[in-house]
Amino acid sequence: MAFGSFENSGSSQPMAEINTTPLVDVMLVLLVIFIITAPLFHEALPIDLPRVDASRLDDPPQVLSVAIDAAGDVFIDGQAVERSEMAARFVAINAGGGQPELHLRADRGTRYERVTEVLADAQRAGLVKIAFVTEPTP
């Protein structure tokens, strides 16, 4: 029995390449089977859940916007503040009830030292939810 060709060249060596056609056929059949059966996996079971009279809490968190410009000036909710006043405002806002979120925006040219001063004052006032706001790259 000859492998590889119908010629009688006298070479009796078997073909060395792997025949990938059956493998591709099996993969295509499996792909079609999964495409057909995948929507059937999403069928939900009917479950009778208990009913309760609880109200939803829709209190949005209080957001405190802090911005630092390139000169190092600090703005809280759009108003310029000094460093001594900033710490007192952080304490007053945190004492108002709830846990406010501090959204910090700093100019690219702002000194790192100024940013750490603001973060340290916020930490001393008890603000723990701090987010850094950035601009997406175009």
> In this predicted structure, what is the pLDDT of residue 6?
62
Predicted pLDDT of residue 24: 93
Single out the residue of 97, 98, 103, 95 nearest to residue 77, CA to CA. 103
Q: What is the pLDDT of residue 68?
A: 92
- Is the pTM for the entire model greater than 0.75? no
- For 26-35, letters b (16+ CB in 10 Å) and e give eeeeeeeeee
* Kind and range of the H or E run holding 131: strand 129-132
The domain spans of the chain are 73-132
The domain defined by 73-132 folds into Nucleotidyltransferase; domain 5 (3.30.420)
pLDDT on residue 58 = 66
| Mean per-residue pLDDT of the chain | 82
Q: Residues in the chain with pLDDT < 70?
A: 1-11, 42-45, 47, 49, 57-58, 138
Instruction: Report the sign of the C-alpha dihedral through residues 10, 13, 16, 20, in that order.
Output: positive
- What's the pLDDT tens digit per position in 40-75? 776 666 767 677 777 776 677 788 899 999 888 999
pLDDT at 5: 58
- In the prediction, which pLDDT does 117 show? 92
3-state class of 46 per DSSP? coil
Predicted pLDDT of residue 120: 92
